[in-house]
Amino acid sequence: MVKKILLSLLAVVLVLIAAGYWAYSLIDRDAFKHDFKNTQRADLPYITENVPEHRGKILAVVTSHSELGNTGKAVGYELTELSRAYYVFEANGFSVDIASPQGGKPPQVLDGDDMNQYDYAFLNDAAANKKLEHTFKLSEVNPDDYQAVYFVGGKGTMFDFVDNPDITRLVEHFYNNNKAIAAVCHGPAALIGAKNAQGDYIVANKAITAFTNDEELLLIPNAPEVFGQLLQDTLTEQGAKFSEGAMYLDNVKVDGNLITGQNPWSVWTMAEATIKQLGYTPKAREITAEEHAVTIMNTYHQQGSEQALAVAKSLLEKQQPYMRNLVFIHSLMAFMQFDVIEGVSLLVFVQQLKNLT
């Protein structure tokens, strides 16, 4: 009996080792060879060439809050959520001012695994960094100076965007004057409590999205206690028609002058939707490898793996690369949620993507 048990355990261990080796073999290690850290603004034709004449100003608002409740963990605004929208706005003829509740230099969150050439160019952009060193204090901002306002995400917003009279003043001004209001990820926290001229919540009966409960709880299981609320729940309680897309994939909703994105992978689409809301056709842009991977994953969830593979094959035929490792990460997220079947299915899908190359 003991011998049988030991042999069974050994078999399980060998299977797990083989599975781990197989999973490891699916990682695209060539993707780690890219080094964007020295990218300069001048290296990116999208933001330097064929820029329209000045069309106006957009106000980007970032959090001033630097600590995740009482956890001691650092938070702030998400760089990728600012940098990508910032360059879309500039490339389409709008100058961007940056403000924060307290003014001055706001706390910044960098996620090196998700950063691309635009994010590093922003870090190396002297003009952009000067704005970040000296953000305008919200109480001193004149909303009449701007055609749109953009609320940048970051967990800190859950602490200093909610019930902030200066935030509410801005939102209500832009909403009641039918000017564009954009927000992404945790940025829609700015919409909480804001009311229209009739005294109703502006999100009531509006198609809205934001960082979802599932996305929040995957990383912070005690999020309701840490934040005091969940963003999706609060927006829904105030009457929003909340749109919950697939986890960590692009999902943008436009309803009137409200443009909201679900998470950091929604920034490009959200920013270009803002340009459309302002009455212009967004300037042509080379789609990034990350965005192509997001498109593949959205197709996978909406139409199945066969159609998703067809999308991937079409991209390769057009010599448009996609980030295969993002799909691999989604398989790991499925395992984190104890959805073994989905996790394995995604790993098989990654294998199929690898076979295309």
pLDDT band at 161 (very low <50, low <70, confident <90, very high): very high
pLDDT band at 111 (very low <50, low <70, confident <90, very high): confident
Mean pLDDT calculated for residue range 69-80: 91
pLDDT band at 21 (very low <50, low <70, confident <90, very high): low
pLDDT band at 14 (very low <50, low <70, confident <90, very high): low
Q: What would the two tokens of residue 282 be?
A: 């967004």
pLDDT band at 357 (very low <50, low <70, confident <90, very high): confident
pTM above 0.85, yes or no: yes
Are 288 and 116 within 8 A, CB to CB? yes
Average pLDDT across the chain, whole number? 92
Mean pLDDT calculated for residue range 157-169: 96
pLDDT digits (tens, 9 = 90+) for 47-65: 999 999 999 999 999 999 9
Specify the pLDDT at position 13. Answer: 60
Mean pLDDT calculated for residue range 291-310: 96
Specify the pLDDT at position 158. Answer: 97
How far is it, in rounded angstroms, from Cα 207 to Cα 3?
62
User: In Å, how far are 42, 277, 331, 341 from 181, measured between CA atoms?
Assistant: 29, 9, 34, 40
Specify the pLDDT at position 316. Answer: 94
Specify the pLDDT at position 29. Answer: 72
How far is it, in rounded angstroms, from Cα 295 to Cα 318?
15
How far is it, in rounded angstroms, from Cα 121 to Cα 116?
9
Specify the pLDDT at position 16. Answer: 56
Q: How many residues does the chain have?
A: 357
Mean pLDDT calculated for residue range 273-288: 96
Specify the pLDDT at position 10. Answer: 58
Specify the pLDDT at position 301. Answer: 95
Specify the pLDDT at position 71. Answer: 86
What percentage of the chain carries pLDDT values higher than 70? 92
Judged against a pLDDT cut of 80, whether residue 22 lies above it is answered with no
User: In Å, how far are 114, 176, 236, 284, 334 from 242, measured between CA atoms?
Assistant: 26, 21, 6, 30, 23
Strand partners of residue 137:
100
pLDDT band at 11 (very low <50, low <70, confident <90, very high): low
> Which residues are CB-contacts of 2 (< 8 A; sequence separation ≥ 6)?
none
Mean pLDDT calculated for residue range 261-268: 97
Q: What would the two tokens of residue 188 be?
A: 């829609």
pLDDT digits (tens, 9 = 90+) for 172-220: 999 999 999 999 999 999 999 999 999 999 999 999 999 999 999 998 9
How far is it, in rounded angstroms, from Cα 82 to Cα 85?
6
